[in-house]
Amino acid sequence: MRRKYSATLAVTVVCLLAGCADEPRPWEDISGSRVRDLTNEEVVEIEQAEQKLIKACMTNEGFPYWEFPVPSIDERKSGNYVIESVRWAEAYGYGREFEKLGEKIRTSHRTTIYQNKLPKEGRVSYTRALDGDYRDRMTAKLPGKLGTVETPRGGCTNEARARLYGDAEIWYTTRRTVESALPLYAQALKQDERFTKALRQWADCMTRAGRPFDSPDDLRQKRAAAVEMMPDAEADAFDRKLAVTEATCAVESSLGKVIRDLENEYRARTLKPYSEQWDTYRKMRLHGLRQAQDAPS
């Protein structure tokens, strides 16, 4: 997909990549009550748009690239603290099919196969075209005292993000700040009485159901040990049954809802000193959504 740009837009694009102090940031027109976080559906949409843009850039650079699939909403839920829905539990158990799918994509996707067949210098050129060059790095300071992280500048992944979100470096630093909040509230949340009460109710429910566990963490540890020796079909049946029990108790105790609500509360509080980044993060994502929806496909 090649986009045609007018001269003005071309200038703007150059500014997105290089940074132009006088240009208004493209996400800044989103303000007030329009500022909100994205839904899961919208996140899938912008990630798919990002893949399309990476492909367009790589093609421009003379490299073949086939778009990677992006994780579905259900797949994203497999890392949740507790399974919230019986539907999900019945369909996926503990997400074994997502693990297999992920491994298959990582190793047999067309882009991976192409990349790995290249001779050494070709592989290096390809990686630099896609990921940038680490010798020129962007740094993001993580919130609290969590240190710093770095990523290469340049490359098609950054260019795709510049086109989508409005600025590659601001996107990286903002995203890293906001998405690294969990360690700062994890412990306090788990000590909150509302959480411990719901967890006790979940544990009591599990005991009444004949599957006693102290917590979903405890359950996952024991489940992993149990299924390791099982053949696939047995493991899948075991998983589904246990997952349905977990989810039923999560609904009965409201544990799923409680942790979701508490996370929203604790995250908002944790991000208060970073309100500018939180604001920018949401605006950039909304801008990305706008870009994704306007793009010719």
**Footprint of another protein (CB under 8 A):** 40, 68-69, 71, 73, 75-81, 84, 99, 102-103, 105-107, 109, 111-112, 115-116, 120, 123-124, 127-128, 131, 134-135, 137, 142, 144-152, 172, 176, 179-183, 185-187, 189-191, 215, 217, 220-221, 224-225, 228, 256, 259-260, 263
Considering the complex, state which of residue 4 and residue 272 has its C-beta at the smaller distance from another protein.
272
For the bound state, the minimum distance from the C-beta of residue 199 to another protein, rounded and expressed in Å, comes to 9
d(CA 74, CA 78): 7
For the bound state, the minimum distance from the C-beta of residue 297 to another protein, rounded and expressed in Å, comes to 22
d(CA 161, CA 290): 13
Considering the complex, state which of residue 147 and residue 296 has its C-beta at the smaller distance from another protein.
147
Considering the complex, state which of residue 5 and residue 134 has its C-beta at the smaller distance from another protein.
134
Considering the complex, state which of residue 80 and residue 248 has its C-beta at the smaller distance from another protein.
80
DSSP 154-187: -HHHHHHHHHHHS-HHHHHHHHHHHHT-HHHHHH
d(CA 254, CA 78): 18
41: closest CA among 294, 293, 295, 263?
A: 293
For the bound state, the minimum distance from the C-beta of residue 127 to another protein, rounded and expressed in Å, comes to 5
| Separation of CA 34 from chain center | 22
For the bound state, the minimum distance from the C-beta of residue 74 to another protein, rounded and expressed in Å, comes to 10
For the bound state, the minimum distance from the C-beta of residue 11 to another protein, rounded and expressed in Å, comes to 28
Considering the complex, state which of residue 228 and residue 294 has its C-beta at the smaller distance from another protein.
228
Report the SS3 class of residue 87.
helix
For the bound state, the minimum distance from the C-beta of residue 208 to another protein, rounded and expressed in Å, comes to 22
DSSP 66-109: -PPP---HHHHGGGSSS---HHHHHHHTTTHHHHHHHHHHHHHS
Question: In the block, which residue shows the tokens 């992280």?
Answer: 149
d(CA 260, CA 82): 10
Considering the complex, state which of residue 28 and residue 103 has its C-beta at the smaller distance from another protein.
103
Report the SS3 class of residue 133.
strand
